[in-house]
Chain A
Amino acid sequence: MSVVRRLAPLLGVAVILVYCLAPFYWMVVSSFRRTSDIFDLSVLPSPWSWENYAAVFSGQNQFTRALLNSLVVAGVTTVVTVLLGTLAGYALARLDFRFKNIVLAVVIATSMFPAISLVVPLLKLFTDIGWIDTYQAMIVPSMSFALPLAVWNLTTFFRQLPVELEEAATVDGCTRGQAFRKVILPIALPGVFTTTIIVFVVAWNEFVIALSMVSRPETQTATVRISQFAGFAGYDSPFGTQMAAGVVVTVPLVIAVLLFQRWIISGLTSGGVK
C-alpha cells in the first residue's frame, strides 16, 4: 500500500510528461531532420542536421529581429495588462459598489466576439490614426483577449484571500493602498504570477492581429514570420523549418518560466507567509 502511495505521484508525473511532451518530441525530432528525409518515421533523426535552424536564422528570414519584436509586443502587453488587470481585479473583488456584476459581465462579454471579426474595423481605425506598422497597433488589440482573462483571474484570486488579513493591516495603520501592496499582493503572488504567464503566452502566440496591422519586416513578430517561410517552390512548405522555428519560440518561454518560478518561490518563502 505504501509503495503504491509513493509511486502514484511519480506515475502521475510520468503520464503528464509523456502526454505533454510526446507530440513536442516529434516536433523537435522533425526539426533536426534534413529537408530530404523529413518524411522519415524513425524515432531519431539520422543524420542529425542543423539545416532547419540555419534556415530559420538565415539573413533572409530576419528571425532574430522578429523574436525581438515578439518580446517587445508580448512583454509590453503583459506588463500593461497585468497592471490594469490587478487594479480592476482588486476593485471587483474587494470594493463594494453598484454595477459590479454588470462590469464583470461586460468585461467577459468582450471575450465572446470572434477575434477574426475584430480585425477589419480595427484596421480601418488604425489606418485613419496612422498606427499601421507600429508596436502599439499590435499591443492594444492584443489586450482585447488578454485583459478579460487577467481581470477575471485576478478577481477570483483576490476574492479568495481572507478579508481579515487586510483588515488587520488597516488596523495596524496601513492605508488601503499600503495594505494592498504589503499584504494582499505578496499572498496573491501565485495568482498574479500564473496570470502573468498566461497573458504572456497568449500575447506571444498572437497571430491574426500582428499579421494584419504590420507589413514592414522590421516590425513583424515571430509568428507572422513563421507563416511566411517559403520552400523551394510554392507548394512544398518548409515543414522542418517551421518546426524548428516552433521550437525556437517555445523553448525560451519555458526556460523563462522555470527561472522565474525559482525566483518567485524563493521570494515567497523569504517573505514569511505562514
Chain B
Amino acid sequence: MRARAGRTAALLLSPSLLVLGLVVGYPLLAAFRESLHRSGDELDADGFVVTGDRFVGLDNYADALGSRFWTAFGNTSFFTVTTVAIEVVIGTAMALVMHRVIRGRGLVRASILVPWAIPTAVSGLLWRWIFQSDGVANQVLATNLLWTSDGWAARIAVIIADTWKTAPFVGLLVLAGLQLIPHEVNEAARLDGASAWQRFWRVTLPLVKPALLVAALFRLLDALRMFDLPFVLVGAQKGSVETLSMLAWSEANQVRYGPAAAYSVILFLYVVVIAFVFVRLLGTDLLGDKRKASA
C-alpha cells in the first residue's frame, strides 16, 4: 500500500519538483559556485579588466561580514519581526470581519485586494509621494518629518507601506481557513456559554492556525528578502533601511558577482534557519500529520 502511494506521490510531485529544480535549483548552485570566485577586479597593463574567474575560497564570505553587513542584517531582522507581527494581527482581524459580514462581503474582499494588487514598484512610488517632506502624510499628521531621509522615520515609513500592502495577503488566507470551519462548531461553543473572546481564542484560532501559519511563514520569507520597497521609497545605501537583499543588489550593480552571490547565500542560509525555527516552534501542524497523531 505504502509503496503504491509512494509511486503515485512521485508521479504527482515530479512536475513541480522538476520546475523548481530548473528555475531555483540551478541558479542556487550557480550562485554557490559564483560565491567562491571573484572576477574582473584587476586591470592589465593596457587598462582592460582581466577576465575570467579566480577561485578565492571563502574570501567573499569573510569580506562580506563588515559593519555594513551587520547593519543590513539588523535591519532585515527588525523589519521582518515588526512587519510580520503587525500583518498577522491586522490580517486576522480583517479576515474575522470579512467572515462575519454577510452583506457587502464581496466588496470588502475586493477592496482588501487593492493594496496587494498594486504593483510593488508603483506602490513604492505612491508611498514616496505620500511621504515626501511636503507630502500628504505630513499634512494629515500635522508633522514635519523627513520620512525619506536616513533615520527612524524612514523605518516607520517602510513598515507602514509594507504592512499596508501585505496584510491583505494574510487576511485572504485566513479567511479561506475560516470558511472551512463548520458553522456548528462555533454554535456549539456558544451554547456552552463561551464568550466571544473565548470562542475566538479556544475554537476559531486553533482551527485557522494551519492557514495562519502558512500565511505567516510566507510573509516571513518575503520580509527577510525585502528589497523593492525600501529601495524605491527611501533609496539605496541608506543605513537605516538597507536590507541584505539590497546589499546583494548593490554588489551586483558594481559587477561584483562573487561578493553579491556570497551575500545571497548568507541570506539564504539565514532564511533557512529562521524558517526552520519557526516551523519547529509553531508549526507542528504544518509538517507533522496532526490528524494521524491524534487518531
Direct contact of A and B (CB under 8 A): yes
Q: Indicate if A250 sits at the interface (CB-CB under 8 A).
A: yes
Q: Name A1-55 residues within 8 Å CB distance of B.
A: 9, 12-13, 16-17, 19-21, 23-24, 26-27, 30, 41
Residue of B with least CB distance to A104: B287
Q: A13-B97, A97-B5 are in contact. Are A23 and B16 (CB under 8 A)?
A: no
Q: Name B240-295 residues within 8 Å CB distance of A.
A: 244-245, 248-249, 252, 257, 260-261, 264, 267-268, 271-272, 275, 286-289, 291
**Chain B residues, Cβ within 8 Å of A105:** 287
How many pairs of A and B residues are in contact by the CB < 8 Å rule?
A: 272
Q: Indicate if B115 sits at the interface (CB-CB under 8 A).
A: yes
B20 to chain A, nearest CB (A): 5
Q: A17-B108, A198-B169 are in contact. Are A111 and B113 (CB under 8 A)?
A: no
Complex Cα–Cα for A84 and B115 (A): 28
Q: A113-B264, A149-B218, A191-B176 are in contact. Are A258 and B8 (CB under 8 A)?
A: no
Q: A97-B5, A194-B173 are in contact. Are A23 and B126 (CB under 8 A)?
A: yes
**Chain A residues, Cβ within 8 Å of B210:** 156, 159-160
Complex Cα–Cα for A239 and B232 (A): 13
Q: Indicate if B112 sits at the interface (CB-CB under 8 A).
A: yes
The reply to whether B122 and A121 form a contact with Cβ atoms under 8 Å apart is: no
**Chain A residues, Cβ within 8 Å of B89:** none
B211 to chain A, nearest CB (A): 6
**Chain A residues, Cβ within 8 Å of B106:** 258, 261-262
Q: Indicate if A215 sits at the interface (CB-CB under 8 A).
A: no
**Chain B residues, Cβ within 8 Å of A16:** 94, 97-98, 108, 111-112
The reply to whether B12 and A198 form a contact with Cβ atoms under 8 Å apart is: no
**Chain B residues, Cβ within 8 Å of A193:** 176
The reply to whether A204 and B117 form a contact with Cβ atoms under 8 Å apart is: yes
The reply to whether B101 and A9 form a contact with Cβ atoms under 8 Å apart is: yes
Q: A88-B16, A107-B16 are in contact. Are A13 and B291 (CB under 8 A)?
A: no
Complex Cα–Cα for A163 and B168 (A): 30
B3 to chain A, nearest CB (A): 9
Interface residues of B (CB under 8 A from A): 1-2, 5-6, 8-10, 12-13, 15-17, 19-20, 22-28, 30-31, 90, 93-94, 96-98, 100-101, 104, 106-123, 125-127, 129-130, 135-136, 139, 164, 168-169, 172-173, 175-177, 179-180, 210-211, 214, 217-218, 221, 224-225, 227-228, 244-245, 248-249, 252, 257, 260-261, 264, 267-268, 271-272, 275, 286-289, 291
| A-B contact sample (12 more), CB < 8 A, given A108-B275, A243-B125 | A12-B101, A20-B115, A23-B130, A26-B126, A30-B126, A85-B16, A90-B12, A95-B9, A117-B260, A120-B257, A161-B180, A250-B118
Chain A to chain B: the 3 pairs with minimum beta-carbon distance, closest first: A12-B97, A246-B122, A121-B30
